[in-house]
Amino acid sequence: MKWTRTAIGYPYIGDNREWKRCLEAFWKGDVTEDVFLQQLKDIRLGRLKRQMDLGLDYLSIGDFTMYDRMLDTAVMFGMIPSRYAAESRESDLSVYYAMARGAKGAVACEMTKWFNTNYHYIVPEYEGQKLSVTKNILLQWFKEARDELGIVTKPTMIGPYTFIKLAKGFENREAFAAEIIPLYRQVMAELSEEGAVWIQLEEPALVLTLSEEEVAFVKSVYAQLIVEKPACHIMLQTYFEGLSAYDELVNLPVEGIGLDFVSGYQQNIASLKQFGFPAEKVLAIGIIDGRNIWRANLAEKAELLNSILDQSKAGDVWVQPSSSLQHVPISTALEQKMSDDIKRLLAFADEKITEINQLVLSFNDIGLPLGGNGRTTQKASSERAVTPDDFKRPAPFPVRQEIQARKLNLPVFPTTTIGSFPQSKEVKETRKAWRNKEITDETYAAFIERETERWIRIQEDLGLDVLVHGEFERTDMVEYFGEKLAGFALSEKAWVVSYGSRCVKPPIIHGDVSWLEPMTLKETAAAQVMTEKPVKGMLTGPVTILNWSFVRDDISREEVAYQLGLALRREIECLEQAGIAIIQVDEPALREGLPLRKADWEKYLRWAIRSFRLATSGVQNETQIHTHMCYCDFHDFVKPIEALDVDVISIETSRSHGEFIHSLQKTPYEKGIGLGVYDIHSPRIPSEEEMLEIMQDSLEVLEPRQFWVNPDCGLKTRKEEETVASLRHMVHAAKQLRSYMKMRQF
Ligand code: GLN
Ligand code: ZN
């Protein structure tokens, strides 16, 4: 039996986010194309060398990208929408980046979440044009690795089924498949001619629930792909869950099958037990978690590996992380300020490769004895025991609604914003100076207060009804709370890519979460003193904090969510006691945290909603609780929203306005709701008329008394002039609507 240590993919952003800097400098025009391409080549080769040094036997190419790998695949096949024709005359790179980021007169391609990760890919668009392999970029990278490093690498690409599944714009899927598959064949044939031995086709879509018809389609895709045996082997790589329809798909005409024995552990083990594994195929065993950041218990992993080998009777095996490592940071060695107590619990990409190495060496009798994961599991200790009443507001919504209406005395169609106002250059620079200890805490706080006051005056001047303090003190809506709650650790360099060149640095929840001291009280109370109008308190909800952090795995996510809920409940109590009458608890990540399979949704929603309610149910009836959600497909999501029992929700609908309205028709909603009236992602200033039209549409399904007027999301990325102009139109539109209403009544 032969063992191969390999990885599905490795991060490409660089230890110091060099990749991001190269891309952004090139976009700004600071470097020439030649220099840019040379810089990327250095990054590509550097990361291959690093993986070799760490002990992998077989390295991937094609896990690198110049923006996004789905986009790479589309462009490689010439799937370029006609609206980029002007860029096509310029250069290949300008088309590529126009598709990613938009160009004059041509909006960018849609972007959406990559399965259940926090990565977002570009959705390929087909317009029926003739496709062909415009440039086999994998071939270029394959040769580069061979010529420069003398190694034969494993090209990896998004597999045909997943590509077809995620692409849009075609009417007939079979016909589209028939266009695409020959191109896959061509790319693979060229690679194989050049000396590639294995090609990895990534098919995460094979872990979704597959109908019989879908399984038949997968089979037909692979039957068309492999008409005659290519000279090289195919590794059909799955991840994020167990392989669906295992008994049928395991027999696809490929030479290797890659399975996830972390997220898909139970299902894949059960499948192996029941159906065995084809003797002639190579089994790629995803055994080290590619998604979390915790050290593995290698002694346990060795046992698991043994039982997989027993069950599968596999011949040759690959041992690898369970998914691409692009979802975790690069190396804990880059963390200089983190305490050793926490660091020793962590394994980022490099440490995970080392774990693979240790695991395989131990099987070959030359390894050291395997240890645990450094953790002495503590039983979660919640701050206090919760009772069923903790999840319930004292009175039902209709009663609260009346009490709140009397207290707040807002006009019909109240206007508000989602929380943040533009983070100007000055705001960012002042914060940086403060972090670098160039200015004192007092100077910084005074600056934040001045900026808040300036925006309170702007909001009053615009005539908004419910004001916000503007969130100038926050960089990121999760990190801000991570810095202030117990149980969190923050890293310096633990970045992961979120989309394109954008990276995020999720906080690390390593211990019991608890509230230590007020986190938002000072800024909110200060703003409330500045105005007669109500100022909304602003918090990030428990589920969003959880979903956008790296979470400890020694207790359940559910338990961590309740700890967060209780901690936020304390904060909400403080705000209420200080006289803040409206408190918004943002949950933009609640919908996107849904598990991959529908069968698992209910369980997740149950605890997610309970943790939100635990946070928000401690207030008096007269305190109005808001929430906010955005950038997800909310159709069919009215019931879960209802279950949150908030008094008001503001929700983004720029992408799916019509569909959400349709959902509201099917599932009536009685509480306060603001359907975003303009998209904050564009610098364009929407007119009064167009906002009015959107509002009138919404009034087809909503009662005037429940209707709020607000933008789609926070305004922190916009410029001040755009923000003020757009909001002025919005407030006017709301006023017009009020006068129409009056006319209709009398
Ligand atoms: N209150 C946050 C803001 O306005 C909400 C951000 C979000 O929904 N992602 O920035
Ligand atoms: Zn939002």
Residue 193 tokens read as: 């001619």
Task: Report helix, strand or coil for 512.
Answer: strand
469 lines ligand 1 (CB under 6 A): no
pLDDT confidence of residue 626: 98
CA pair distance 349, 325, nearest whole angstrom:
6
- Could you list the mean pLDDT of each consecutive 10-residue stretch along the chain, which spans 746 residues? 94 97 96 98 98 96 98 97 90 94 87 92 95 96 98 98 97 96 96 97 97 98 88 95 97 97 96 96 97 96 94 91 98 96 96 96 75 67 79 98 98 97 97 96 97 98 98 95 96 95 95 97 98 98 97 95 98 98 97 92 98 98 97 86 98 78 90 93 89 91 94 94 97 96 75
Residue 385 tokens read as: 């025991």
Q: Is residue 159 within 8 Å of 204, Cβ to Cβ?
A: no
Eight-state DSSP code of residue 530: T
- Which residues does residue 286 pair with via DSSP β-bridges, in sequence order? 260, 320
- Which residues does residue 624 pair with via DSSP β-bridges, in sequence order? 582
Mutate to test the pocket of ligand 1, among 477, 540, 710 (most ligand atoms within 8 A of CB): 477
pLDDT confidence of residue 658: 73
Q: Which atom of ligand 1 is nearest to the CA of 538?
A: 1
Helices 298-312 and 349-363: crossing angle in degrees, nearest 10, is: 60
Q: How far, in Å, is the centroid of ligand 2 from the Cα of 179?
A: 38
pLDDT confidence of residue 36: 98
> 601 Cβ partners below 8 Å, 6+ apart?
594, 595
pLDDT confidence of residue 484: 97
- The model carries a pTM of 0.94
CA pair distance 519, 447, nearest whole angstrom:
18
CA pair distance 241, 264, nearest whole angstrom:
4
539 lines ligand 1 (CB under 6 A): no
Amino acid in position 540: T
pLDDT confidence of residue 746: 55
Q: How far, in Å, is the centroid of ligand 1 from the Cα of 341?
A: 33
Q: How far, in Å, is the centroid of ligand 2 from the Cα of 535?
A: 18
The string of pLDDT tens digits covering residues 182-198 is 999 999 999 999 999 99
pLDDT confidence of residue 655: 64
pLDDT confidence of residue 381: 57
- Which residues does residue 163 pair with via DSSP β-bridges, in sequence order? none
Q: Minimal CA–CA distance to 612: which of 543, 513, 538, 534?
A: 543
Respond yes or no: is residue 681 known to be catalytic.
Answer: yes
